[in-house]
Each structure stands twice: as C-alpha cells, then as structure tokens.
Amino acid sequence: MPVIAVLGALFVLGFERLVEWQYGPMGIVGLLLLTIGIKAKNPTCSSLGAVVLAVMVAGPAL
C-alpha cells in the first residue's frame, strides 16, 4: 500500500511540473482549482479549474 501512495505522489508531482512548465502559473492555478473542487465535491470550483485549463490548452489554437 505505501508503494502505491508513493507512486501516486510521484505521478501527481510530475504532472504538476509538466503543467507548470508548459502553461505557467495559470496552469497551476487551474489544476489547483480543479483538484480542490473534485476533493471538496464543489462543482463550481472544479468547473472553473477545468475552464481555466481548457482555455490554457486551446489558447494557441485561437
């Protein structure tokens, strides 16, 4: 069980670094809002985080 927790934490940290490197501080804010919204079961917060991430990803295409 501790091995799974360590692997999960490494994956989350790696994904967070990738988002920060690719999309900057706003990507981290979107990821943070999405994560907090999912954990708190708050649809407003998670939706706001998802929209921020979607705008960051689709921004260059617009």
| pLDDT per position as a tens digit, 1-49 | 688 888 888 887 887 787 777 778 888 888 888 888 888 999 999 999 9
pLDDT of residue 7: 83
Within 1-62, strands assigned E span none
Q: Would you place residue 53 in the very low, low, confident or very high pLDDT band (cuts 50, 70, 90)?
A: confident
Please state the pTM of the whole predicted model.
0.68
pLDDT of residue 62: 63
